[in-house]
Amino acid sequence: MDNNEEFALFHMKFKASIKKIEELLEIRDIQNATALFDKMQQEANSVKITALDGFSNKLLSIRQNSIKKIQAQLEEFEILFKQFLEGCEAVLHNQFQNEKAKKEIIVLLSVHEGMAHYNSDAKAYREELIEFYNWFKGVYDLLDQLIKNKNIDTLMEFFEELRLRAQRIEAKEIIHFVSLINQTLTQEQTQCKLLLESYQKSVEL
């Protein structure tokens, strides 16, 4: 095979890799996207092209930075988790340390907004709060395991369910926290998109 044929074959593979990597990044499959970056770097090096060097490291750096930010946010969530759980218990049992604590808990749980969501039907709101509480109190161990596994997709499934459940009681603090997690992942997707654009331009076709 002469040089022209080698370059032509490489360019075909490169075009296919762009499409495949785009699909992998869309589903956040960083592991396989990184492997494909490495494979194409080897293909490029075999025809003496160095423009693809380092893309896998850049992608891993984007993911690692995203994970670090999410881990820091999850540490904050652990605090919110405990406060919200204690708040639910206080509201459901109508047991507060004092009036100041009662006001703080009512604000934390967005009780007034939650009641308004049910047209001020205290019974309907309480039933939904009980359902949320019974689910919420069991997520601590699950969340701890998800953090250790660093599985972003599974984490996002968890937080999406948390958001939907929190909306039923208008829990603003939790809804806001989930939005911050989503912002981090949106930033990661944007950075991955820019990386892919740079990858695509790295070899003149």
pLDDT digits (tens, 9 = 90+) for 104-115: 999 999 999 999
Is residue 205 assigned to a domain?
no
106/131 same-domain check: yes
196 falls within a domain? no
Considering the domain architecture, whether residues 18 and 43 belong to the same structural domain is answered as yes
In a domain, 200, yes or no: no
Same domain, 49 and 107: no
Q: 99 in a domain, yes or no?
A: yes
50 and 125 co-located in one domain: no
* Residue 149 and residue 179 in one domain: yes
Q: What burial letters (b/e) apply to 48-81, b meaning 16+ CB within 10 Å? A: ebeebeebbeebeebbeebbebbeeebeebeeeb
Kindly report the pTM of this predicted structure: 0.79
Task: Decide if 87 is inside a domain.
Answer: yes
Both 59 and 74 in one domain: the answer is no
Q: Same domain, yes or no, for 41 and 102?
A: no
Report CA torsion sign: 142, 145, 146, 147: positive
Q: Quick check: is 91 in a domain?
A: yes
AA identity, residue 7: F
Q: How many domains does the chain have?
A: 2
The ranges of the chain with pLDDT < 70 are 1-3, 144, 147-151, 204-205
Range of the domain at 173: 69-189
Provide the pLDDT for residue 151: 67
pLDDT digits (tens, 9 = 90+) for 154-189: 777 888 899 999 999 999 999 999 999 889 988 999
Q: Which of 45, 63, 81 is the last residue of a domain?
A: 63
Question: Angle at the Cα of 42 (from 38 to 47), degrees rounded to 5?
Answer: 145
If one counts every other C-beta atom within 10 angstroms of the C-beta of residue 183, the result is 12
Do both 101 and 149 map to the same domain?
A: yes
What pLDDT does residue 83 have? 93
CA dihedral over 35, 37, 42, 43, signed as positive or negative: positive
Position 108 in a domain: yes
Say yes or no: 139 and 75 in one domain: yes
Task: Name residue 49's amino acid.
Answer: I
Q: Put residue 110 in one of left, alpha, beta given phi > 0 → left and psi -120 to 50 → alpha.
A: left
Confidence (pLDDT) at 145: 73
Q: Are residues 77 and 133 in the same domain?
A: yes
Among the listed residues 194, 199, 197, the one whose alpha carbon sits nearest the alpha carbon of residue 62: 194
User: E strands within the chain?
Assistant: none
Residues 84 and 179 reside in one and the same domain: yes
